Structure 1
Amino acid sequence: MKKKMDVEFRGTVDPARNRYPYCIVWTPLPIITWIFPFIGHMGICTSAGVIRDFAGPYYVSEDEMGFGNPTMYWQMSPSTAELSSWDSAVHQASEEYSKRMHNLFCDNCHSHVARALNLMQYNKSTSWNMYKLGFLMVIKGKFVGVSGFLKTWLPFIVLCILVLIVVTIATVVSKTTT
């Protein structure tokens, strides 16, 4: 049954069913994304849209991202994979990262995605890294809808408003006591 369902979604992004074929997906991280809305958790999807993400030490999840469903996706072109098939590279990177310790700053979910892209030599490149992917996701990523946009940006906006209110109150209070 699952195989039949996966084939049905091949090539078609379907956020309602959580299927993102040939995509890099992104979701916010609690607290970190509230302060820096361009930093989040990343995964890479198979041709059938099944999400694989390096969710923690020695663990690559399948079809259930470590921090919730994607709010953004970036659909790639599998025809630009040079050396190996898309699914083979995603599988190989996932196997490799299931044996690694997670490090927030230098070997993380973005690194897992970069490894898959490097294995397939996506876009004739083996220089994919977490910084390049983070930057390109901000530029090329699409929100899954209004809810994805709000889940990503609303906490940051609320935090900014609260900071402005506190600064305004502090300014008014300091001027009235002077």
Structure 2
Amino acid sequence: MKQFHGGVSVGVGGGAGGAGLDPERCRFPYCVVWTPIPVLTWLFPIIGHMGICTSAGVIRDFAGPYYVSVSRSLFLYWKLDPSKVYSCGPNAWDTAVHDASEEYKHRMHNLCCDNCHSHVALALNLMRYDNSTSWNMVKLCFLSLLYGKYVSIGGFVKTWLPFILFLGIILIVSLTLHLR
């Protein structure tokens, strides 16, 4: 079955070992996922909520103080390559996601410094993804926006339309004040 994903037709479905994307079941194996945060994303569209998926596609995200959830909400996904995990064993990806989640179950959530992006960065650092231990929230923010694909056209519109409307209102008000 084919689905539309961010301008690219992608094969989806079960697949061996859970390797296929399955939007109907909200399963995105080996992906970093992102969803907007109401109001905050409307003002700053690059800011949102991030999670990381297991090899089975289950989303794990640091959702609040001392709480890592299993989520089903996403608008954007960035498919990563599990062969870039610098570790032995078939479960290296899942082990890193699990260990990062366990660590973040004991942390206070801080919107600016230690948040959902930091949780994902720790998982990627633990697995030494792409032979790197320098993953951080800023790097993840820009790379997920650069390489990510929207799950649907609706996801794209829901992410960007409020920001465009907000800019339009500012522009109209500023032009109105300038013409007086």
Normalised-by-shorter TM-score class: 0.7 to 0.9
Check if 1:123 corresponds to 2:127.
Answer: no
Check if 1:79 corresponds to 2:83.
Answer: yes
Gaps of 5+ in 1: 1-5
Check if 1:146 corresponds to 2:153.
Answer: yes
Aligned length: 165
State the identity as a percent: 60
| 1:78-121 Cα deviation digits (max 9, x unpaired) | 11111261111000100000110001111100000000001000
Larger radius of gyration: 1
* Counterparts of 2:20 and 2:167, CA distance in 1: 36
Between Structure 1 and Structure 2, which shows a larger proportion of helix residues?
Answer: 1
* Counterparts of 1:14 and 1:76, CA distance in 2: 15
Task: Return the TM-score normalized by structure 2.
Answer: 0.87
Gaps of 5+ in 2: 1-13
Q: How much does 1:63 deviate? A: 2.9
Matches within 5 A, 1:87-106: 87-106=94-113
Task: Return the TM-score normalized by structure 1.
Answer: 0.88
Q: Of residues 172, 176, 180 in structure 2, which corresponds to 1:165?
A: 172
Between Structure 1 and Structure 2, which shows a larger proportion of strand residues?
Answer: 2
Aligned CA-pair RMSD: 1.7
Hey, what does 1:61 align to over in structure 2? 69
Instruction: Give 4+ residue runs of structure 1 displaced > 6 Å after superposition.
Output: 6-9
Hey, what does 1:156 align to over in structure 2? 163
Q: How much does 1:167 deviate? A: 1.4
Contact 1:9 1:19 in 2 (8 A): no
Hey, what does 2:38 align to over in structure 1? 30
| Partner SS for 1:135 | helix
More displaced stretch, 88-97 vs 161-170:
161-170
**Matching residue's letter, 1:19:** R
Q: How much does 1:168 deviate? A: 2.0
